[in-house]
């Protein structure tokens, strides 16, 4: 059973870290990129239809959020062979108009899955003299290549040659643009039966108000689309290249208007890694995110940040009592006192605890002479504890010690039962035993406070509550431990020496 609990806890933990990207350390931020596309034009008091290429989710990038800004326009999105399009439309528009699209993206470590079936190749026809130039160029490049990747690299090398051959000049002209090179390379490869396509995108930079549209190409090779840098011929592109759409179509088309202007801008923003992981998990519709404590309202989250620390304190108590052999009053009293220390802070909390416990114990020993029954005696001690707490709060306020006001957070019932238990131990086993259990309780509470308020511990158990299953498994294992405690080894050391 313990093995199943521990395995389940570790599997869920590793899934959230490795797959969903939940951070192990609090306060980590990741880079996100905000991209804005804007379209401006002059409407002519007539129907207007605007089409804009927009990105979609892909293995290397995740579309975290997107929004469309327009006034009075109808909006629809649709999938195309090249990607996605946003279509704005209106029956009548006049004067200057502006439409905006905003996207928030983040880089991921995903990889494109292999495709079982090769995509269809669009037939490309050339007329003379282009057809002869294409055949001659393909013959030369093919003879100097060994596979698809080297063939594409050789073709792009010919296109970028300082002294291009006659076939290249016929196909591209004397001063071809990067886009025309990519488009011609795609046509030639398609003519040779190799699936290829152009890609239009931008570079993710710190801040760029007018981001230029870059062009590269993708070739289907080894069951995947492989990107090629048209300028260098390399079978890869820089990691900060973001593909906006595929195909040789324009970024936007506008019907029923004039003076059309379109542009892209990009800027980097930073977001807490936990929030980014939660958003990504919602996009992927992960059940681990849907049932995560981080999806609760903020007020409820604050409660569970404390509640998830109680099992940690209880586990520490198990170690100190069953493995080390520290004596304490009760089972959970040190953990509850540690929770009270969260507000009073450690040193001031210890002082308040000792003062109330000492005063209450003195009064409890006096009540012993009255020969009271158990329930009235406990009620009397509770009343005394409340009076002492009020007196210490008033006195600390008069002395300007505002921290003393937080004494009200101490659990009154626990203090009452501790005083009662300590007095019984005092009478039955003596003051030494009572002091040992009192100091043991205070020491465990202090250490539990330090662990429970450690920001990394709080982050781990709130972000990954499945670790409580691992903690439960470890607690069950310790419940079967019946060997010597650490303090008992020192206690019986003399007897072990005499035995030898």
pLDDT tens profile 447-479: 988 988 888 888 888 888 889 999 998 888 888
What six digits make up the tokens of 301?
Answer: 């989250």
Local structure of 271: helix, strand or coil: strand
295-304, 381-390, 432-441, 455-464, range with greatest mean pLDDT? 455-464
Half-sphere exposure of 261 (CA within 13 A, CB side): 7
Rounded-to-integer distance, Cα 118 and Cα 394, Å: 81
Place of tokens 């936990």: 274
Rounded-to-integer distance, Cα 438 and Cα 441, Å: 5
- Are 107 and 63 in contact by the 8 Å Cβ rule? The answer is no
- Are 328 and 317 in contact by the 8 Å Cβ rule? The answer is yes
Q: For the residues 87-94, what does the mean pLDDT come to?
A: 90
Query: What pLDDT sits at residue 318?
Result: 86
Least confident of 141-145, 176-180, 394-398, 434-438: 394-398
Q: For the residues 51-78, what does the mean pLDDT come to?
A: 87
Query: What pLDDT sits at residue 100?
Result: 92
Contacts of 500 (CB under 8 A, 6+ apart): none
pLDDT above 90: residue 87: yes
Cα radius of gyration rounded to whole Å, the chain: 36
Residue 422 to residues 58, 328, 369, 426, Cα–Cα distance (Å): 66, 10, 16, 6
pLDDT confidence band for 394 (50 / 70 / 90): confident
pLDDT above 60: residue 492: no
Q: For the residues 395-407, what does the mean pLDDT come to?
A: 63
Query: What pLDDT sits at residue 383?
Result: 85
Strand order in the sheet with 196-203: 224-228, 214-221, 196-203, 241-246
333-362: per-residue pLDDT in tens?
A: 788 788 778 767 788 778 877 887 888 888
Q: List beta partners, residue 105.
A: 33, 63
Q: For the residues 252-278, what does the mean pLDDT come to?
A: 85
pLDDT confidence band for 410 (50 / 70 / 90): low
Half-sphere exposure of 486 (CA within 13 A, CB side): 9
Q: For the residues 203-219, what does the mean pLDDT come to?
A: 87
Q: For the residues 174-187, what does the mean pLDDT come to?
A: 87
Query: What pLDDT sits at residue 440?
Result: 84
- Are 276 and 283 in contact by the 8 Å Cβ rule? The answer is no
- Are 40 and 254 in contact by the 8 Å Cβ rule? The answer is no
Closest-CA residue to 60 (of 237, 260, 307):
237
pLDDT above 80: residue 290: no
Residue 440 to residues 94, 320, 334, 437, 493, Cα–Cα distance (Å): 82, 9, 9, 5, 22
Query: What pLDDT sits at residue 379?
Result: 85
Q: For the residues 27-54, what does the mean pLDDT come to?
A: 88
Query: What pLDDT sits at residue 493?
Result: 59
pLDDT confidence band for 88 (50 / 70 / 90): very high
pLDDT confidence band for 407 (50 / 70 / 90): low
pLDDT above 60: residue 231: yes
Residue spans of alpha helices (H) in 19-122: none
pLDDT above 60: residue 138: yes
123-132: per-residue pLDDT in tens?
A: 777 888 888 8
Whether the bond between 396 and the residue before it is cis, its omega within 30 degrees of 0, is: no
Q: What is the mean pLDDT of the chain?
A: 82
Query: What pLDDT sits at residue 89?
Result: 92
Place of tokens 């937080």: 406
In the chain, list all ranges with CATH 2.60.40.2250: 29-112+251-275
pLDDT confidence band for 99 (50 / 70 / 90): very high
Q: For the residues 40-65, what does the mean pLDDT come to?
A: 88
Query: CATH number of the domain at 29-112+251-275, out of 3.30.9.10, 3.50.50.60, 2.60.40.2250, 3.30.70.2190?
Result: 2.60.40.2250
pLDDT above 80: residue 116: no
Closest-CA residue to 125 (of 188, 59, 48):
188
């Amino acid at each position: 059973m313990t093995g199943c609990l521990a395995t389940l806890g570790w599997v869920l933990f590793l899934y959230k870290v490795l797959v969903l990207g939940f951070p192990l350390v609090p306060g980590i931020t990741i880079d996100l990129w905000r991209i804005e596309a804007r379209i401006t034009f002059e409407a002519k008091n007539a129907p207007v239809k605007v089409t804009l290429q927009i990105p979609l989710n892909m293995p290397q990038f995740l579309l975290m959020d997107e929004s469309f800004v327009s006034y009075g326009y109808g909006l629809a999105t649709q999938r195309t062979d090249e990607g996605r399009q946003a279509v704005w439309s209106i029956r009548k528009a006049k004067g200057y108009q502006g439409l905006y699209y905003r996207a928030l993206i983040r880089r991921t470590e995903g990889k494109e899955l292999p495709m079982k079936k090769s995509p269809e190749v669009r037939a490309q026809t050339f007329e003379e003299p282009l057809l002869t130039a294409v055949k001659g160029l393909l013959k030369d490049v093919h003879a100097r290549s060994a596979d698809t990747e080297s063939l594409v690299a050789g073709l792009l090398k010919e296109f970028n040659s300082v002294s291009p051959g006659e076939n290249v000049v016929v196909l591209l002209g004397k001063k071809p643009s990067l886009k025309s090179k990519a488009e011609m390379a795609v046509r030639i490869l398609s003519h040779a039966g190799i699936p290829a396509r152009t890609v239009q995108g931008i570079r993710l930079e710190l801040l760029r108000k007018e981001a230029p549209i870059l062009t590269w190409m993708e070739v289907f090779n080894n069951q995947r689309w492989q990107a090629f840098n048209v300028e260098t011929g390399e079978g890869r592109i820089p990691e900060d290249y973001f593909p906006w759409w595929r195909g040789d179509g324009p970024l936007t088309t506008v019907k029923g208007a004039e003076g059309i202007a379109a542009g892209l801008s990009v800027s980097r923003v930073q977001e807490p890694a936990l929030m980014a992981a939660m958003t990504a998990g919602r996009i992927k519709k992960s059940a681990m995110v849907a049932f995560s404590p981080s999806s609760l309202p903020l007020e409820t989250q604050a409660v569970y940040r404390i509640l998830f620390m109680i099992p940690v304190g209880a586990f520490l108590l198990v170690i100190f009592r069953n493995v080390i052999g520290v004596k304490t009053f009760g089972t959970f009293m040190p953990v509850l006192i540690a929770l009270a220390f969260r507000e009073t802070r450690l040193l001031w909390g210890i002082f308040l605890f000792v003062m109330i416990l000492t005063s209450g114990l003195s009064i409890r020993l006096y009540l012993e002479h009255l020969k009271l029954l158990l329930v009235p005696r406990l009620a009397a001690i509770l009343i005394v504890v409340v009076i002492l707490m009020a007196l210490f709060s008033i006195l600390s306020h008069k002395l300007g010690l505002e921290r003393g006001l937080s004494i009200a957070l101490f659990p009154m019932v626990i203090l009452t039962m501790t005083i009662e238990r300590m007095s019984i131990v005092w009478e039955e086993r003596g003051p030494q035993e009572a002091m040992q259990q009192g100091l043991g309780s205070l020491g465990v509470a202090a250490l539990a406070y330090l662990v429970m308020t450690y920001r990394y511990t709080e982050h781990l158990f709130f972000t990954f509550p499945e670790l409580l299953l691992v903690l439960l498994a470890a607690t069950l294992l310790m419940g079967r431990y019946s060997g010597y405690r650490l303090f008992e080894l020192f206690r019986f050391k003399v007897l072990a020496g005499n035995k030898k």
